[in-house]
Amino acid sequence: MKAFKFVRPRTCEEASKAVQAESNAILKSGGIDLLDRMKEHVDDPDTVVGLVDAEGLEAIRIEDDGAINIGAKVTLQQLADSEAVQRFLPTLAEAAGLAASPQIRNRATIAGNLAQHTRCGYYRRASFPCVQRGASECPVKQDGAVQDTAGVFDDECVSAHPSSIAPVLGSLEAQIKLRINEVSMFALFDNLWIRRDGKPASHAQLPEGAVIEAIHIPARSEKQYVGFAEIRQKAAFDWALVTCAVRYALDPDGKIGDASVWFGSIAPAPHQSVPAMRALLGQECTDKTIQAAAEASMKNAKPVPGAAYKVKLAKVALKRALEHARGRS
């Protein structure tokens, strides 16, 4: 990597101002993904604004109304070990505990996990053309390309978002708390991966000068059934082939009155499956309903040939996640 200036602000506000004031600046939290990109010259910043000294970003707090705020610098291991997260957000604790390796979990942060870039080999090598860098066509779509880690939808970019935490937060309808200078604001979770032209991006699109300050998960009055499933080639230190997180609540008649289904590793951004949600609403959570939701979830899939196997895996992951949710007391 090239030489760079390292800035260590003491607050989130200072970090926001620094990333705007410094030349060609980029934010660094745990640095797990960023340092890889810098070594590969995918990113060549002149200035790295490190959040290591920024205060007030390490806490997990339960608000008076039951909402939970997770500081941007909370590590994946802290999420997995937190009694509050295990009790109130069990799928988040499960997903965090399965991520990467113990060494990485103790360094990687929740904000960094959301902001990581795709692991697509064509994106990760600056010598290859890539639509995320302005190319006219995604090279993964070409005959003979490496396609086994691609997504399953016919997007402009067919990369797969690698975060296994993101689908869980999507299912919980999390909000992203941002800091720009002296102002804090909340952003909708799925808007984090929408470019200014309205197309999906393979990594988080923060407003200029914005720093992720916390993740806010709203409280709910009714009982929630939640489930998480992950499928990968090996059990440790590997990115998932498919992840799925679900949440639903029952109405007084015992039928699903509210549902959320999110996938990871099958699209450039975390993917909310509206067809699967529609298949669940108004139904009892029976095996037949679960199968119908699984089939509906992939009705719009148009994978490149090398990633066609992921369609079946996604259906299996959704079935497992729903069965997991149904089995919770």
85-119 residue pLDDT tens: 999 999 999 999 999 999 999 999 999 999 999 99
Residue 236 reports pLDDT greater than 80:
no
Q: What is the pLDDT of residue 328?
A: 85
| Mean pLDDT value across residues 5-11 | 97
Q: At what angle do helices 309-327 and 287-297 cross, to 10 degrees?
A: 150
- Please indicate whether residue 155 or residue 50 has the higher confidence score (pLDDT): 50
> Helix, strand or coil for residue 176?
strand
Per-residue confidence at 2, pLDDT binned at 50, 70, 90? very high
What is the percent of the chain with per-residue pLDDT over 90, rounded to a whole number? Answer: 91
How many CA atoms does the CB half-sphere of 218 hold within 13 Å? 13
Q: What is the pLDDT of residue 47?
A: 97
9 CB burial (10 A radius; 0-12, 13-18, 19+): buried
C-alpha 132/C-alpha 197 separation (Å) is 13
Residue 199 reports pLDDT greater than 80:
no
CA distances from residue 196 to 170, 267, 275, 300 in whole angstroms, order as listed: 21, 18, 26, 24
C-alpha 21/C-alpha 98 separation (Å) is 38
Residue 319 reports pLDDT greater than 60:
yes
Q: What is the pLDDT of residue 113?
A: 96
Name the token pair of 197: 């032209």
Looking up tokens 């990760």 gives 124
| Mean pLDDT value across residues 129-148 | 93
Residue 329 reports pLDDT greater than 60:
no
What is the percent of the chain with per-residue pLDDT over 70, rounded to a whole number? Answer: 100
Q: What is the pLDDT of residue 133?
A: 87
Do residues 151 and 141 make contact, with C-beta atoms less than 8 angstroms apart?
no
pTM, 2 dp: 0.96
Looking up tokens 């970003």 gives 57
